[in-house]
Structure 1
């Protein structure tokens, strides 16, 4: 018979791994919404089989095993979550209105750093970076799982084989194919690269100031030559400092129209942006995730679907007072 003390023990022992499991499920699915649901499912499955847990593997490994299988089952009925740059070539219509947003695409979502343990962001050595998570979505589900278990969680090949019901040789072959595919779709992304340093915040501060003061010259000074800008749910995206700046200049900018609040997502500097409406009220506009390299902005990913509660995930209000 299950007692209250049994439940209390289960919660006490397993709850410290919740944020880590969320990060793992997010890498697999590319969705915070789905990752949270799958973590809940993981804990439900773990509780149902807890009386059979014999401690042969660590509790952490046991929970990751359940989470991985839960994700693999979910992925059987899911399509990959892309960013616009993963769906076609950059747009050349720099000054034309954007086409209707592609609301039928299940877009990749940003992961607020506040939802995962800070140690996870560092220990994972950059594996939460937005571009890398987007690249992982190109891999078949089992390749994705093998790559994450081996290269992020550092499981031995034999452990992964036991987890997935296959041979060690098959795991090694699958990992080789996964790494090769990852190099095809994102040759500049490295699972083992360290997160960016303290200069990120300085770049973010200058970026926010440039928009708040409508200073396009200041913004230009921050952009890498090959900078890319994408804005899901719009399919258009832009590549190159000249084209990105031309697109931004073609939009309505005036000092004071935009306000920004700093935060972090995917281990990267991020700003929640608000724009002033005709009534003078600043309302949530977007979540903007920056990729910073050597003190310059290499990519700007602007998530515009703020109506889906995105801003709330960052602990930010929908309206600024």
Structure 2
């Protein structure tokens, strides 16, 4: 936590921390990088506090200007954070695993972001953002997610309204397919019912039950592995392999990430003792069932959700 000599300054800016983390996460695709940039934003703001002119911009707009430009600086020389489905062709579910040594898009726990600021955090949407140029990404987020005006966006980015509008048109065309996933989502109550059914089927290692819950165009991907595939048949082949290798004794813990439902999966392989952390699975749903399962297994990602390494039997 940043410390300030001026407690009044801290009192003014700290309420914006959660939404700034969400903003920087959209820009950077990494929870840790987003939190680092927000810390840098507050340090820059504190150093420049005597130059802040409330007649020119609100405190919120001023902080977003600093955070956006700090994010653009952080993005220089960095590779895009994406998901396997946006990087390589689809693989056969029986093919050997191949690890991709690239910076992967990370999920973010809903608990880290205020509820009102989870708009535009869907994994598929954030993944699509990463394929835009850094400046197009910033324009789209500021205009379409955060509802800044074209003039405010131009002020934040130090450019013109004409340039903002041009970048926005190109960016919208690029991310439109990813936004369709959000438009297909059922009501929250229906989503909970789908997820509860999926969790029960997974805990029971019931592949047939899992398959019945999948949409025809379902996608499964598992960074850092490059392997990904589509369709219930391929999904079922992979899940049978998962249960064959890991066993059929599982526990699930509900999790919410990127404004989406999901769960942490824990497995017990020896028939006794604790269940060990296996994966975090973030689900996207339509009225036809699960349309995407993004599975994360790396400890540094799972640790950001505060998931214990074991749960009791």
Report the TM-score, using the length of structure 1 for normalisation: 0.90
Tell me which residue corresponds to 1:304: 297
Question: C-alpha separation between the residues in 2 aligned to 1:73 and 1:198?
Answer: 41
- Aligned residue pairs: how many? 307
Match of 2:147 among 143, 147, 154: 154
Match of 2:114 among 117, 138, 150: 117
Residues 44 and 194 of structure 1: CA distance in aligned 2, closer, same or farther (over 3 Å) = farther
Match of 2:265 among 266, 269, 273: 273
Instruction: Provide Cα deviations, 1:120-160, integer angstroms capped at 9, x if missing partner.
Output: 22xx3xx1000000000000000000111111111111111
Q: CA deviation at 1:47?
A: 0.6
Runs ≥4 residues deviating over 4 A: 192-196, 253-256
RMSD over equivalenced CA pairs, Å? 2.1
Q: CA deviation at 1:187?
A: 6.6
Tell me which residue corresponds to 2:91: 91
Higher mean displacement: 265-274 or 153-162: 153-162
Q: CA deviation at 1:97?
A: 3.7
Within the alignment, does 1:64 sit opposite 2:70 as a pair? no
8 Å contact 2:104–2:223 — kept in the other structure?
A: yes
Residues 267 and 182 of structure 1: CA distance in aligned 2, closer, same or farther (over 3 Å) = same
Residues 187 and 266 of structure 1: CA distance in aligned 2, closer, same or farther (over 3 Å) = closer
Tell me which residue corresponds to 1:107: 104
Structure 2 residues without counterparts, runs of 5 or longer? none
Question: C-alpha separation between the residues in 1 aligned to 2:209 and 2:186?
Answer: 25
Residues 194 and 117 of structure 1: CA distance in aligned 2, closer, same or farther (over 3 Å) = farther
Within the alignment, does 1:262 sit opposite 2:254 as a pair? yes
Residues 287 and 5 of structure 1: CA distance in aligned 2, closer, same or farther (over 3 Å) = closer
8 Å contact 1:30–1:133 — kept in the other structure?
A: yes
8 Å contact 2:220–2:229 — kept in the other structure?
A: yes
Tell me which residue corresponds to 1:243: 234
Match of 2:199 among 208, 212, 217: 208
Tell me which residue corresponds to 2:285: 292
Higher mean displacement: 46-55 or 32-41: 46-55
Residues 25 and 76 of structure 1: CA distance in aligned 2, closer, same or farther (over 3 Å) = same
